[in-house]
Amino acid sequence: MGYKLVSRKEKPDNTVVKVGNVIVGGDCLTVIAGPCAVEDREQYIQVAGYLKKLGVQMLRGGAFKPRTSPYAFQGLAKEGLDILAEAGRVTGLPIVTEVMDTRDVEAVAGYADVIQIGSRNMQNFILLKEAGRTGKPVMLKRGLSATIEEWLMAAEYIMAEGNSDIIMCERGIRTFETHTRNTLDISAIPAVKHLSHLPVIVDPSHAAGRWGMVAPLAKASVAAGADGLLIEVHPCPNEALCDGGQSLTPGNFAQLLGELVPVAEAVGRKCKCEAKHLVKKSII
Residues 284 and 281: their CA atoms lie apart, in Å, by 9
> Could you give the count of Cα atoms lying within 13 Å of 6 in the half-sphere of its Cβ?
31
Check: CB of residue 150 under 8 Å from CB of residue 185.
no
- For residues 187 and 283, which CB has a smaller minimum distance to a second copy in the complex? 187
CA angle 206/145/68 to nearest 5° reads 55
- For residues 90 and 266, which CB has a smaller minimum distance to a second copy in the complex? 266
Strand partners, 17: 24
Name the E strands within 56-128: 58-60, 95-98, 114-117
- For residues 70 and 92, which CB has a smaller minimum distance to a second copy in the complex? 70
- For residues 45 and 144, which CB has a smaller minimum distance to a second copy in the complex? 144
Pairing type for strands 30-34 and 228-232 reads parallel
- For residues 65 and 88, which CB has a smaller minimum distance to a second copy in the complex? 65
As measured in angstroms, the least distance from the Cβ of 91 to a second copy is 29
State the maximum Cα–Cα separation within the chain, in Å, rounded to a whole number.
55
As measured in angstroms, the least distance from the Cβ of 238 to a second copy is 18
As measured in angstroms, the least distance from the Cβ of 149 to a second copy is 7
By the criterion CB under 8 A, which residues form the site for a second copy?
1-4, 66-72, 100-103, 120-121, 123-126, 129, 144-145, 147-150, 153, 156-157, 160, 173-180, 183-187, 189-191, 194, 207-208, 212-213, 216-217, 219-225, 259, 262-263, 265-267
- For residues 86 and 185, which CB has a smaller minimum distance to a second copy in the complex? 185
Phi/psi-derived region of residue 216, left when phi > 0, alpha when psi is between -120 and 50, beta in every other case: alpha
Q: How many CB atoms lie within 10 A of CB 219?
A: 19
Angle between helices 214-223 and 250-266 (to 10 degrees): 20
Q: Return phi, psi of residue 20, to 5°.
A: 60, -125
Residues 196 and 191: their CA atoms lie apart, in Å, by 8
**Three-class secondary structure of residue 25 per DSSP:** coil
As measured in angstroms, the least distance from the Cβ of 250 to a second copy is 21
As measured in angstroms, the least distance from the Cβ of 168 to a second copy is 14
- For residues 87 and 153, which CB has a smaller minimum distance to a second copy in the complex? 153
- For residues 93 and 279, which CB has a smaller minimum distance to a second copy in the complex? 279
As measured in angstroms, the least distance from the Cβ of 164 to a second copy is 14
What lies within 8 Å, CB to CB, of 232 at 6+ separation is 33, 34, 35, 36, 60, 205, 206, 214, 243, 246, 247, 248
